[in-house]
Amino acid sequence: MRTGTLFSRSINAEQEEIIFTSGDTESNNLTLNGIIEGNKDKQKKKILVSKIEHFSVLDTAKRLAKKGYAVDFINVNNEGFIDLNHLEDLIDESTLIVSVTHGNHEVGTLQNLKSISEIVHKYGSLFHSYATYSYLQVLIDINDIGVDLLTLFADKVHGSKGVGALYIRKGTPIIKIMEGGYHEYNIRPGVENIPGIAGFGKTCETYNDEETRKIKNLRNYLYSTIKSKIDRVSLNGASDFNKRIPNNLNVSFDYVEGESVVLHLDMRGISVITGSSCFSRSLHASHVLLAMGFSHERAHGSIGFGLSKYITKEDIDYTVYHVNEVIENLRNLSPLTKS
């Protein structure tokens, strides 16, 4: 089966509604810039994005703000869900496009895209969603959720790096932002990464619900084991685990700084992420956790775990054993523990 067909079927789209890109960063940049280029209605010049977007959306929106476009940022609550009332306050007939991530890249909260798209479309605006982290892990039916553009990325589903896709609903006014040919329905010039795209298609074909169920059970086991062994742990993201990406767990450990946890675990062969500023190249704490209303301390102590179909229960036990030991050692050093 053609790879384009595999993709379109996986989200219930038409084959000619999928174009391939170099990844999610390009797809998100193409979305915001290309929609602005293609816009014929000069009244529409406002862009709305959530405060917890990936930098490829957030920074593109900020760059457009510097160019004179009206850009606003939608609030989220303390579990990372979009504040629909705030969206209603910000949106009006001048809104060109709204962009909200489906499954958050950091805390894993899954938005109810349907309720957002209903509001967005009331004002004749376009709706884009960054779905890299939720794609294939939860059912995405673009006709049901009502998005106009959807970003996908191979890397997060065991495909290769350097391969992404963008779903563009038929009739959406978008213009290419690079010159160099007429590839991908004249929206994305440049020779496609055929081997990478074929591999992305294979991941699409082989992903199945059984694996997702297994990952979800292991994620739940990881959380319950951490909670049973370590005190002063707070869950970041949706408390209803059915409203999280199945392979995501993000928690904050009181009194420790994430960079130290990441380094100690790395030396024991365990890879995790942190929202601590010291570990980010920008030297800023996680904008996601801060937007959710949490303190710098909570952001600094946050650790994100990502699971996959290759993770076993033994891996989880190994991880929790070492996390427990590392947290205990760091708390013994921490000036916060006894303050």
259 binds another protein (CB under 8 A): yes
**Annotation says 278 is catalytic:** yes
Q: Which of 263, 268, 308, 328 binds another protein (CB under 8 A)?
A: 263
Q: Are 131 and 121 in contact (CB under 8 A)?
A: no
Q: Which stretch binds another protein (CB under 8 A): 19-27, 204-212, 233-241, 262-270?
A: 262-270
Read off the amino acid at residue 152: L
Are 7 and 165 within 8 A, CB to CB?
Answer: yes
Return the HEC string of 226-238. HHHHCCCEEECCC
Of 182, 213, 278, 308, the one binding another protein (CB under 8 A) is 278
For residue 227, how far is the Cα from the chain centroid? 25
SS3 state of residue 54: coil
**How many Cα atoms within 13 Å fall on the side-chain side of residue 78?**
7
Residue in 295, 308, 313, 325 binding another protein, rule: CB under 8 A: 295
Among 300, 305, 327, 331, binds another protein (CB under 8 A): 300
Site for another protein contains 68 (CB under 8 A): no
For residues 236 and 151, what is the distance between their CA atoms, to the nearest angstrom?
Answer: 24
Q: Could you write out the DSSP letters of every residue in 126-193?
A: EEEEE-TTTBTTB---HHHHT-SEEEEESGGGT--TT-EEEEE-TT-----SS-S--HHHHTS-S---
Question: Of the listed pieces 52-60, 76-84, 114-122, 257-265, which binds another protein according to CB under 8 A?
Answer: 257-265
Tokens of 60: 């593109």
The smaller minimum CB distance to another protein, of residues 169 and 300, is found at 300
Among 267, 278, 333, 336, which one carries the catalytic annotation?
278
Q: Which of 285, 311, 316, 320 binds another protein (CB under 8 A)?
A: 285
Q: Which is nearer to another protein, 126 or 285 (CB)?
A: 285
Q: Applying CB under 8 A, does 296 fall inside the site for another protein?
A: yes
Binder to another protein among 257, 273, 304, 326 (CB under 8 A)?
257
Where do contacts with another protein occur on this chain (CB under 8 A)?
A: 257-260, 263, 266-267, 271, 276-278, 283, 285, 295-297, 300, 332-333, 335-336, 338-339
The residues carrying an active-site annotation are: 278
